Structure 1
Amino acid sequence: MVFVSAPAFAEHHEAPITIVIHGGAGALGPGRYTPEQEIAYKAKLTEALNAGYDVLENGGAALDAIEAAIIIMEDSPLFNAGKGAVFTREGKNELDSSVMDGATLNAGAVAGVTRIKNPIKLARAVMENSEHVMFAREGAEEFAKEQGLEFVKPRYFKTDARWRSYKAALEKEKHDKDSALPHDFKYGTVGAVALDINGNVAAGTSTGGMTLKRYGRVGDAPIIGAGTFADNKSCAVSATGWGEYFIRLTIARDICAQVEYGGATVADAANDVIYNRLDGMGADGGVIVVAPDGTFATVFNSAGMFRGVKNATVESVAIYGDED
């Protein structure tokens, strides 16, 4: 368990602007990466964190902040979202994303897109420019054309590192039919939650899904209430982990419900859901959470989680479980 928290600032007229990000959780124990790789990951996390915080510091909306942060990670080959997406069993890249506005409870999501450079932009366009919450596959891309969003060729998403991991996963599966592949690989979902100066929270999540996922598989990232949820009455959550379990447990909504109806702190709610519920089902992953009073948490039961937080008093990025 890892979590950090900031005190409430009830005496302030302006909310204590805060952004928290993640770049995936999983088998991220010390020694997995070289010192140079660790530096590269932390530099990109810092870049994303600063992009989002700059928006907040200039009076921008939480929605704009999370989008700015997630775009940085989608454009990086380091994370399993956008450019660095993992491969399906058929050797393709299929992307999912979602966003939610805590002020209005409006939400947007896309699943299975293959040519959209920044799926988080499309998820937001669905939220703001359609009467629906989710579009999938060809329909999502047709809507993206109407919105004038940037398309790329599918090969844009391919990276050598992900392709090698894909081949290794195929080989492992062939020789070890009992292998639980989800436990052996990092869940590279990226996400962000933010609190803006007006006291509004927002959450967004983007992913390439699970290595070797089967045809049409959709995980928790685009599912509102599972991988993403935001409500000014409680908190904003973005999740990363074994998606099937996050869907079954409606992880993101459960955390916010505990805060709203049970009076739990964001840290206590996140710890309960990750350690008592998710862990109890034999699954792993993590969440980032921020509340309208500025309290926040990063909680995971995996070996590590790429993460970062920034507000007026705290600025940090980390990978492993003992760095906070």
Structure 2
Amino acid sequence: MFRVLVSAATLAVSSFGMAEAQEFNDGSWALVIHGGAGVIERGAMTPEREAEYRAAMAAALERGEAILNANGSALDAIEAVIHGMEDDPLFNSGRGAVFTAAGRNELDASIMDGATLNAGAVAGVTQVRHPISLAREVMDNSRHVMLQGEGAETFAREQGLEIVPPAFFFTERRWAAMERTLISLGLDIPPRPDGAPEPTEIDHGELDRDAREHRFGTVGVVALDRAGNIAAGTSTGGTTAKRWGRVGDSPIIGAGTYANNESCGVSATGTGEFFIRLTVASRICALVEMQGLDLQAASDQVIMDELTAMEGDGGIVALTASGEIAWSFNTPGMYRARLSEGGEPVVAIYGDED
């Protein structure tokens, strides 16, 4: 399996991708988004595909902006942003999710309210169109924090969420990527899912690029609303050809998602096993709250130093209630965007962009 090697050269490239911290006045909103991290390098994508990703990230900002400008909550903004990304086959969440070794799309998501520390998460769902909304229903309308599998889908039906057939999530390039991975592992290829479209030809150069660029195809958002509340949310399809019901960090509160008005909100993307072991999201916020580090310094300590020392790879986006925005990643690139009220949107892909 392809793996990003974290090296001094990688760190040098990635350090250019860390956003400058920003402060805004009280009562202003802010938004920061990621669409996954990986070996995303200039010249690897066609200009057309690069334009598609930049447009998708800009559209995600616009969805969040519309909610926040109308005095909507940070939680509502997160749902609106992630809904669009879950429906966009460019991203590894919802309709663009990767396949497990069993030929299924198993979706994970989580959301957290920084005002109350309430949180909700789901893992391994296969028929819920918008897992991020199911995570919010778990937070708002159950006694629990995390539901998984069939139980989570039963709860989704009880809450009236949109249920779709598993083939709704099918994309040819993700199926082809799963086939190629299983062949490399010497494992059997499962039957094509019921209801999937007829096979179409896939550009194998495109699969090579996907393997490098979209290894961590998680999407995530942190939002600050005009009331001064932070929320964070994350949604993913996991890793290609994952086995045995593997669950990564995205639905784990404190690892892939965390929000607390007293410190910060964080959404992560990367090799989930490392993010779980390091409790990346809550660790960054603890450094802000307990040690008084500014958000960028805390983010860099955890991602560039501690995660890298463990040979883990990936990145985060983060935001404080005072309006400080940061992102940090130890891979050559990460799809990312930010916008603060009254400011200009920033969309970036490569490590040498602000």
TM-score, normalising length from structure 1? 0.94
**What is the one-letter code of the residue matched to 2:348?**
A
Residue 239 to residue 322, structure 1, CA distance change in 2 (3 Å): same
**What is the one-letter code of the residue matched to 1:313?**
G
Aligned pair 1:98/2:106, yes or no? no
Query: 2:185 & 2:325 partners in 1: Cα distance?
Result: 39
Partner of 2:18: 3
Query: 2:214 & 2:224 partners in 1: Cα distance?
Result: 31
Query: 2:139 & 2:236 partners in 1: Cα distance?
Result: 18
Query: 1:170 & 1:152 partners in 2: Cα distance?
Result: 26
Deviation at 1:134, TM superposition (A): 0.4
Aligned pair 1:123/2:153, yes or no? no
Query: 2:102 & 2:43 partners in 1: Cα distance?
Result: 31
Q: Decide whether the 8 Å contact of 2:26 with 2:228 is kept in 1.
A: no
Deviation at 1:320, TM superposition (A): 1.0
Residue of 332, 339, 345 corresponding to 1:315: 345
Query: 2:132 & 2:323 partners in 1: Cα distance?
Result: 24
Query: 1:6 & 1:143 partners in 2: Cα distance?
Result: 40
Aligned pair 1:283/2:315, yes or no? no
Q: Decide whether the 8 Å contact of 1:88 with 1:211 is kept in 2.
A: yes
Paired residue secondary structure (2:49): helix
Residue 4 to residue 261, structure 1, CA distance change in 2 (3 Å): same
Partner of 1:223: 252
- Using the aligned pairs only, state the percent identity: 55
> Residues 161-211 of structure 1, C-alpha deviation per residue, up to 9 Å, x if partnerless?
111111222233349xxxxxx978521000000111111000000000011
Q: Decide whether the 8 Å contact of 2:36 with 2:214 is kept in 1.
A: no
Residue 6 to residue 44, structure 1, CA distance change in 2 (3 Å): same
Residue 184 to residue 33, structure 1, CA distance change in 2 (3 Å): closer
Paired residue secondary structure (2:112): strand
What's the RMSD between the two structures over aligned residues? 1.6
Deviation at 1:318, TM superposition (A): 1.4
Residue 184 to residue 200, structure 1, CA distance change in 2 (3 Å): closer
Query: 1:184 & 1:194 partners in 2: Cα distance?
Result: 25
> Residues 59-85 of structure 1, C-alpha deviation per residue, up to 9 Å, x if partnerless?
111111111111110000000000000
Query: 2:20 & 2:114 partners in 1: Cα distance?
Result: 20
Paired residue secondary structure (2:62): helix
Deviation at 1:8, TM superposition (A): 2.8
Q: Decide whether the 8 Å contact of 1:25 with 1:188 is kept in 2.
A: yes
Alignment of 1:240-279 (within 5 A): 240-279=269-308
Deviation at 1:317, TM superposition (A): 1.0
Query: 2:185 & 2:71 partners in 1: Cα distance?
Result: 50
Residue of 148, 157, 162 corresponding to 2:160: 148
> Between Structure 1 and Structure 2, how many residues are aligned?
316
Alignment of 1:110-259 (within 5 A): 110-174=122-186, 186-259=215-288
Q: Decide whether the 8 Å contact of 1:28 with 1:186 is kept in 2.
A: no
